[in-house]
Structure formats: C-alpha cells, structure tokens
Amino acid sequence: MSESPLQHAPGPLTVIPNAAWMLWNTANRSPDHLAVVDRESRTDFRALRDRAAAISEALTAAGVKHGDRVGIFLERGADAAAAFFGVLASGAIAVNVNETLRTLQIDYILEHAGATALLSTETLLSRLPRKLESPVRILRIEDVPLVGQSQPSPRIAGDVGHIIYTSGSTGQPKGVTITQGNLWAGMASVATYLRIAPTDRIASLLPFSFDYGLNQLLLAAGCGATLVIERSPLPQQIVTTLAGESVTVLPCVPPLWLQLLATEGFRTPLPALRAMTNTGGRVPRQAVQALRSSQPQAELFLMYGLTEAFRSTYLPPEEADRRPDSIGRAIPGAEIMVLREDGTLCNAEEVGELVHRGPTVGLGYWKDPETTARIYRPNPLRPPGAPDSERVVYSGDLVRRDAEGFIYHVGRRDKMIKSLGFRVSPDEVASIVFASGQVAEVVVTSEPDEIRGELIVAHVVLSDGATLDQLKRFCGAEMPRYMQPGRITVHQSLPRTSSGKHDPKQLAAAKSVP
C-alpha cells in the first residue's frame, strides 16, 4: 500500500499550500531518488528541487511578483519540470506553452494571459519561423544557475497557480484558470485509484501544456515516482524506451494507442508495465480488446476528463472487458451528475449533460466572464436555502448512466474537433488558414479517422493567384501538427444556407483535390 500523496504536506498552520510543495516535500524525504529520466540525463529529486529554487529566485530577481503570469516555452524534460515548479514557488502563475506551437499562437497566449516573462531557450526560440512580437521579458533557462536555496512562497488553495490554454469554440484558445488546490486535488485523486508509489516509473509522452500530460509530472513529484521522458513520436522508439526504462505506468491518447498496437514490439508483453491509462477520446472497442491481449499483465484504466475540471471519471480495470464502451464512474472526491436541460437528474439510460462537481473544478476562463458564467454555474441540486457559492462545470458532453451507475458518452453539444488527442476549434483553424492570404473563403469540418480520432478538413476557395502548395506550406509553418488540416478541399464556391451562412453539412461530404 502506497502512502498518501498529501501525507507529507507542511504542518497544520498551513492551509493546502503552494503546489510547488509537491516537489519540495519529495526532495526532502527522498533526495537521491530519480525524478526525471530521459536519453540525455538522469535528474534526482534534490537536483530538480534545487533547479526549481534557482528558477524561482531568477524570476524574483527579474521583478516577477505574486500573481504575475509566466510563460514556459521549453522542451518537455527536467528543465521544463523545474520551470513549472519554480514559477509556482515564486508565487507567480504558470502558463505552459506547447513546444510545437508557432509564433502566431505563442504571441496570442502570452498577450491574452498578460504574461510578464517567458522561460525558454535560445535553441527553441531560434526554431520559430519568425521572432515573437510579445513584449514579455525572455529569461533563457540556460542562463539560470543550477542550484537555488529558496522555499516556495506561501499560497492557499484558492490562489491561481496555473492557466491551461485549450482551443475554444470562439475561434481563439481560452485560458482555463486552475488553483493551487485544484493541482493538489487532481494529483491526489488520480494517485489514489492508480495506486502510484515511489517505485513507479511513469511514461511522459504528452506535453505539459496538456492537463493529462501535466498530471504525469504532478504524480511523479507528489508521490515520489520517476518520470520517464520520451519525445520521439515514433511508436517503435516509444516501445524501446518503455522496455529499456522498465516503465510501469503508460498514459496515452487514442491515436497513440492505435499506433502502438500496430507496432510489433508492443504486441509482446512488457513485464514491468502494470497500468495503462487513456483519456482525450474514446478507444475503439476492438482496440480495448487488443490492448488487454497485448499487455495482459497490465491493468487498463479508461478515463474521461475535461480541462475545466481536469478528470471526471474512470472505468475500473476489472470492468474493461464487460464495459469497454463506458467512461466509468466519478473519480475519488468528485460527483458526476447527468442532468436534463431544466437542471433535474436524468433517469437511468436517459441522455443528459455530464456535470462535474468537486475540488478539481477550476475558477473559470481567464478574462472571459461571459463564457465562465455559461460553463461554470451554480449547483442546481444544492439543498434549498444553501448559500450559492459552489460552482459546477457543465461539460457540453451528452452521456447516459446505466442502472448500475456506469456512464457512457453519447456526443458533444458543441462542434469541437478531437484531433490527435487535442481539442481543436474549427474556427481557430479557419482563422489561421484565412490569415495566409491564399484563400477567399474557408470553412473547417471534420470526419472520423482511425489514427487521428477526427480528420480536420479545410474547405477553401483560393484567392486569385494563390496555389494549394503555398497554402499547405503556410499551414505547416503556422500550426502545430494536431491543428493542421489533414485534407484541403478546393471549391469554386462554398454552399450556403437560406440565411446566407456556410453549410457545413454539404461541405463534410465534399471530395478532396488530389
């Protein structure tokens, strides 16, 4: 039995503290235990803590104050891990920026967050197609000392610790505001049902800017486990790392699971692997069965989450064979309600909206009170007369609950696209395509795809003198892979409804140009 992740939090005079204490606590009790492993280096918890302390001190020396937003644009690894905890330790708010983003998206995130500083490297910045226009102060991580002495700045559960930028239905990324208490609660809940222990070696295949990817770091820091970094997208290299580093916990999104299943090496059991976890979309039933037969010694946890509340449900491994289509039941510490439009509870097998209640519910969207009020609402089932202070998250996902309480996903209320495990706004993709200057009109749709989850399709009318090759080059330079259209369909004109709007239903059936 592993010890509780919160067992070593600071003393009784401190409310749930700065989430950086996850790292400091573990470094104090297990300084020589490996914290982060990758092909280039091995970093123990003492070194990771000392590096985070040095980053915290460098930020303070640069004038960063409590509550300031600090962007982190680093390749996933020990420095990125130390930077995250260093920002928290300084009392600032961390904004992880996906390392695959281009200048356009990075500038938007930094401006929207009101960031005062950016932690990055000269190498990573030089790879961008053009320089950042944001006026933030850039602190190059290579210039920061390796060792610092400071302790985390005092914080309480309700203080903002992190902003996660995720695509929104308005066409621009939205910032989900996460508190110190949310970070602690999410880590502790997942650690409980996955039974994370210091002996675990957790694979890190997903970016820290993705809440699922970040949670692998939080689990390692909070429970004293080892984070094994693999940055290669090649399935065979991933399998080699899983075997060579004796990985025990493997988190993936559906497209990556499908790639691994097609890899010969993964069809042979990896003896050290004890747990596989999935979120970010549904794994097809046949793939669930293939995962169970490929790695019969490992438990499979099928999970569902949304950035606004981090993680909502998980399916116990013993149910995976009986209910491979289910997203399970509520995670420890949370309550999941299936509600009708009038706010009343649905009956068994009745379709309603999944609504999440619990300590992982964030504060809302950064600088977006209108959307916050629509998604984060008062609990409609609170006792009569109870104060109206609690907020629950309306997910936009339509689900049903069976007679035994297991939940099944039915569909989405909005039009978000799930591509390679990421939520993508079709309006955001369309706005970038239009910014190319190569198109007169553009509408973005999607279609099912076995590898990506959904294939992004851009329907365009080219501008005079424009070419499809120029447009494809622009998309490759200005968008990360998961946002890029998998197919661009060229039209003479785009179909419209009687009200003059584009008609996506007709466009979805259009044939592509070779």
pTM of the model: 0.85
Band the pLDDT of 498: cuts 50, 70, 90. Answer: very low
Give the β-pairing of 69-72 and 93-96.
parallel
Coil, strand or helix at 455: strand
CB–CB of 91/65 below 8 Å? yes
Q: Where are the alpha helices (DSSP H) in 274-425?
A: 285-294, 369-375
**pLDDT tens sequence across 89-146:** 999 999 999 998 999 999 999 999 999 999 999 999 999 999 999 999 999 999 999 9
Give the residues across from 424 on adjacent strands. Answer: 417
Report whether pLDDT(173) > 90. no
Q: How far apart are CA 190 and CA 184, in angstroms?
A: 10
Residue 68 CB neighbour total at 10 angstroms: 19
Query: What local confidence, expressed as pLDDT, does residue 430 receive?
Result: 86
Query: What local confidence, expressed as pLDDT, does residue 424 receive?
Result: 85
Compute the C-alpha angle 31/70/393, nearest 5°.
Answer: 90
Residues whose CB is less than 8 angstroms from the CB of residue 76 and which lie 6 or more positions away in sequence, other chains included: 99, 204, 207, 208, 213, 229, 231
What is the amino acid identity at position 70? V
What is the amino acid identity at position 368? D
Q: What is the mean pLDDT of the chain?
A: 90
Report whether pLDDT(514) > 70. no
Report whether pLDDT(151) > 60. yes
When mean pLDDT is compared across 303-312, 359-368, 402-411, 441-450, the lowest value belongs to 441-450
Classify residue 416 by its DSSP letter.
Answer: -
Band the pLDDT of 497: cuts 50, 70, 90. Answer: low
Q: How far apart are CA 10 and CA 365, in angstroms?
A: 30
Band the pLDDT of 434: cuts 50, 70, 90. Answer: confident
Domains of the chain are 12-185 (3.40.50.980), 326-412 (2.30.38.10), 417-507 (3.30.300.30)
On the CB side of 402, how many CA atoms lie within 13 Å of its CA? 11
Query: What local confidence, expressed as pLDDT, does residue 423 receive?
Result: 79
CB–CB of 320/298 below 8 Å? no
Q: How far apart are CA 408 and CA 397, in angstroms?
A: 10
On the CB side of 193, how many CA atoms lie within 13 Å of its CA? 26
Report whether pLDDT(386) > 90. no
Residues whose CB is less than 8 angstroms from the CB of residue 284 and which lie 6 or more positions away in sequence, other chains included: 254, 258, 450
